[in-house]
Chains A and B, each alone.
Chain A
Amino acid sequence: MSEPDLKVRIGPLELKNPVLTASGTFGYGQEFSELIDLNELGGIVVKGLSLKPRAGNPPPRIVETPCGMLNAIGLANIGLENFLKEKLPRLQRLNTAVIVNIYGHSIDEYGAVAAGLKGVEGISAIEVNISCPNVDKGGMTFGTDPDISAQVTEKVLENTDKPVIVKLSPNVTDITVIAKAVEKAGAHAVSLINTLTGMAIDIETRVPKLANISGGLSGPAIRPVAVYMVCQVARSVKIPVIGVGGIMDYRNALEFLMAGASAVQVGTANFVDPRVSIKVIEGLRKFCKDQGITKIEEITGSLKVE
């Protein structure tokens, strides 16, 4: 049998295969360049970028939990200007999709970061992280309010020439409401899930294990939640869905595709096995071959329910 076609379309964006690395878990790609061939990836989503550099939270910033980890990095990053100067040139030389994850603390800041990336070559798409606190609204997370999520989406769309993926927060009552709101606002795709808010306590000292008190849970522990949310969202919007959360191998990736995702992102697993995303791609290719699937796109949403 001939090689299966692994290409997928995320709205206007075409990926050579459906496997991306998730924001914040893969740095700027270069950190892994000695260990894997970055060009084999479907794409790289870089660390969340803000207008100005951010130092991040005090340590401890991470703690392991059963089959997962909590992180409170505090969106530490080098800021737009340094990103363009120091990190982008290497990314531009790659033959894979480069997606820049952006965030802000006000709607205007989202617009400003998007504007700073406008017209810049070598950036395939913008992923908008709406799981962060809105200083104009007393620190409430943007992504928990459908109207504000829509406003952020519109602001980014006004300021960019690139496809816009909105990354949804799972810390909401009904994720489909937010998904529909950003779809209506014009988002080209949604990705989900970001981390689930959690906490761990040292019982000897009675002190939270993270200096920030709470953090975001990721890793295999959150996978069933993520698969379910992807399934719900895929059934309520028409734009493509990117599945994220606890993927450790190609079987896990297939769950997301079957639930309705057009592509997936691998996050925490990169820490456990820096080569995992390549293994997921190989596993998907073999699965397609074994099952006689010619185009991987056929798997998306192929879930069978009575």
Chain B
Amino acid sequence: MIEQNTQIIFNKKIAPGTFLMGLRSAEIVIQARPGQFVMIRVGPNTDPLLRRPFSICGTRGDDLFLILYKVVGKGTAIMSNAVKGEKLSVVGPLGRGFELPEPGRKSIFVSGGIGVAPLVFLAQAVKSNLLFIAGYRSANEIVPMEQVGLNLTDISIATDDGTAGHPGFVTELLASHLTESAEGHLKIFTCGPLPMLKRVAALTIERDIPCQVSLEATMACGLGACQGCAVRASKDGNKTYYHVCQDGPVFDVHTIDWESL
């Protein structure tokens, strides 16, 4: 983990409201594991005050890491206006990432919207025996995988409005792959909006399929110091709350109290 003023190498729009940013840091590239995130200070001013968390979406060469982000508010709007050559202060890599699947097991990646970001990085590490199911609200939100450095043969798309791929929810596509014959050999990795994650959790817990979930929470420090990012732990464990920034953001599906979310 380091704090560094990193230079923006590019910051380009790859879909409406969606940007891919490349930042230079050999130190972060060496340390980064899929599922980890960074805290970015969007500028020197005090409004917005806090850093914003972003998953690491991949690395290029030995000194470039990528952030894939959607403009949703003040901070991300400022980021979208940043240009090549400017510097942004980054703290990271932070948190616990994904555990890679055991060899021989088939992985299914399930993303919703901008939740593709950490899974793109994971896909670069897993490479084979994987199916990527990406859900979006509409066709124009689709993140072109080649643009984020991923060449996948096995990818399915679902859109809520039916403008591309499977019309409907990504979890419906997932369910269709969870056949009895496949169940013992699968591992699910997921990131996306909460309603989708809850559905994936229900599907995988019900069928006893291993599943790792990348969660979000409002964060202040990202370092495990403020305890602001609490998420309720399932009753089996001895903890009441986990801290998403430190115990996560990636969790085993069983460790979370889904009803509290």
A associates with B: yes
Interface residues of A (CB under 8 A from B): 24-27, 31-32, 34-35, 47, 55-64, 66-69, 71, 73, 76, 219-220, 248, 268, 270-275
Q: Are B41 and A55 in contact, with the CB atoms below 8 A? A: no
Q: Are A35 and B226 in contact (CB under 8 A)?
A: no
Q: Does the CB pair B48–A271 fall under 8 Å?
A: no
B49-A270 in contact (CB<8A) = no
The answer on a CB contact under 8 Å between A58 and B232 is yes
What is the bound-complex CA distance between A270 and B49, given in angstroms? 11
Whether the pair B2, A35 counts as a contact (CB closer than 8 A) is yes
B226 touches A272 (CB 8 A): no
Which one of B47, B217, B226 lies within 8 Å of A25 (CB-CB)? B226
Q: Which of B38-91 contact A (CB under 8 A)?
A: 41, 46-51, 89, 91
Contacts of B206-235 to chain A: CB distance below 8 A: 217-232
Q: In the complex where A66-B47, A219-B49 touch, is A275 in contact with B226 (Cβ < 8 A)? A: no
B220 proximity list for chain A (CB < 8 A):
62, 69, 71, 268, 271
A25 touches B225 (CB 8 A): yes
- Whether B226 lies near A32 (C-beta < 8 A) is no
Q: A24-B226, A73-B226, A73-B228 are in contact. Are A271 and B217 (CB under 8 A)?
A: no
Instruction: Beyond A25-B221, A62-B226, list 12 extra A-B contacts (CB 8 Å).
Output: A31-B223, A34-B1, A59-B231, A60-B218, A64-B48, A73-B227, A76-B227, A76-B241, A220-B46, A248-B46, A272-B46, A273-B3
Chain B contact residues, CB within 8 Å of chain A = 1-3, 41, 46-51, 89, 91, 217-232, 240-241, 260
- Distance (whole angstroms) from the CB of A11 to the closest CB of chain B: 28
A–B Cβ pairs within 8 angstroms, 17 of them: A31-B224, A34-B1, A35-B91, A56-B227, A56-B241, A59-B217, A61-B218, A64-B49, A67-B46, A69-B50, A71-B220, A73-B228, A219-B49, A271-B220, A271-B222, A273-B89, A275-B3
Question: When the two chains form their complex, are residues B225 and A62 in contact, meaning their CB atoms are under 8 A apart?
Answer: no
Closest chain B residue to A57, Cβ basis:
B230
Nearest Cβ in chain A — how far from B148, in angstroms? 29
Distance between Cα atoms of A67 and B50 in the complex (Å)? 9
Given A60, A61, A69, which contacts B49 in the complex, CB threshold below 8 Å? A69
Chain A residue contacts of B260, Cβ below 8 A? 58
B interface, over-half SS: loop
A274 — which chain B residues lie within 8 A by C-beta? 3, 91, 221, 223
**Which residues of B have CB within 8 Å of A35?**
1-3, 91
Task: Give every chain A residue within 8 A of B228 (Cβ-Cβ).
Answer: 61-62, 71, 73
**Do the beta carbons of B218 and A272 come within 8 Å of each other?**
no
Bound complex: CA of A64 vs CA of B49, how far in Å? 7
**Which one of A26, A56, A71, A271 has the highest number of Cβ atoms from chain B below 10 Å of its Cβ?**
A271
| Chain A residues with CB below 8 A from B219, complex form | 62
Interface centre among B47, B91, B221, B231, by most A CB within 10 Å?
B221
Q: Which residue of B lies closest to A209 (CB)?
A: B218
CB neighbours (8 Å) of A248 from chain B are: 46
Instruction: Report the bound CA distance from A150 to B134 in whole Å.
Output: 61
**Which residue of B217, B223, B240 contacts A32 across the interface (Cβ within 8 Å)?**
B223
- Nearest 5 interchain pairs by C-beta: A27-B225, A55-B240, A62-B228, A31-B225, A271-B221
- Cβ of A268 to closest chain B Cβ, rounded Å: 7
Find out whether the CB atom of A31 lies under 8 angstroms from the CB atom of B221: yes
Q: How far is the CA of A26 from the CA of B223 in the complex (A)?
A: 9
Q: Nearest Cβ in chain A — how far from B4, in angstroms? A: 10
Pick the residue among A25, A57, A272 that contacts B41 (CB under 8 A).
A272
Task: Flag if B223 contacts A27 (CB, 8 Å).
Answer: yes
Chain A contacts of B225 at CB under 8 A?
Answer: 25-27, 31-32, 270-271
Residue of B nearest to A60 (CB): B218
Are B226 and A220 interface neighbours, CB within 8 A?
A: no
Taking a contact as CB atoms under 8 Å apart, the answer to whether B50 and A34 are in contact is no
Closest beta carbon of chain A to B258's beta carbon, Å: 14
Q: Which of chain B's residues have a CB closer than 8 A to the CB of A268?
A: 49, 220
Residues of A within 8 A of B2 (CB): 34-35
Compute how far the CA of A62 lies from the CA of B228 in the bound complex, rounded to whole angstroms. 6
What residues of chain B lie closer than 8 Å to A58, measured between beta carbons? 230, 232, 260
